[in-house]
Amino acid sequence: MSTHKLRLSIAAEAARIMATEQVADYQVAKDKARERLRLPTHSPLPSNTEIQQALRSYQQLFLSDRQAGALRELRQTALRWMQRLERFSPRLVGAVLDGTADTGSVISLHVFADSTKEIALALFDWPISYTTGERRVRTGRGQETDLPLFRITEADHIIELTVFNERNGRQRPLSHVDGLPVQRADAGALRTLLEPGPA
């Protein structure tokens, strides 16, 4: 089998794993795909972009109705949280924005505050449970930095708030999919995504 076909096979299997087993990590999906296809550890692995393209194709072929409904619900939940957190200039990022999210996907928001205390005080106003931690992000200079993270559980959804401050918020972190600065959407852009398309 040619290297190109091998990469496509691994990408297709990794996409299936991500879609059906709720695996969000591209490297985990690649490793599982390689193992399930019984390929040697030195096999050429597809890029994250190739897997994302295969995931979109898989979702369109096999999960279009269910995935579209789940994505809409996740986006509506994201918009609700963005409205709640409006004073922190929330921006939607990740799979819920790019359209590859499905049931069980995490809603990822970037928020901007001088301190995590401001976020904690805002969350205190709502009857929710959350945990705190850190998220490691890559910056445009190839460096990594750890940022505060709030992980909120609400009904069947998990919302993750990565907290940026004035100093680190200007530069968008790099995407784990393509290595480019992550795409961010404000509430207005998300409302546009939620508008019904032509029938």
User: What pLDDT, on a 0 to 100 scale, did the predictor assign at position 196?
Assistant: 80
Q: Where are the domains of the chain?
A: 3-62, 65-194
Q: What is the DSSP letter of 106?
A: P
Q: Does residue 81 contact residue 128 with C-beta atoms inside 8 Å?
A: no
pLDDT band at 166 (very low <50, low <70, confident <90, very high): confident
The radius of gyration computed from the CA coordinates of the chain, to the nearest angstrom, equals 18
Rounded Cα distance between 164 and 157, Å, is 22
Identify the residue with better confidence: 197 or 39.
39
Matching CATH number, 65-194, of 3.40.1000, 3.30.70, 3.40.50, 3.30.460 = 3.30.460
The two beta strands, 144-154 and 157-164, are antiparallel
The vertex-134 CA angle with 153 and 163, nearest 5°, equals 75
What tens digit of pLDDT does each residue of 101-151 get?
A: 998 899 999 999 999 999 999 999 888 899 999 999 998 766 899 999 999
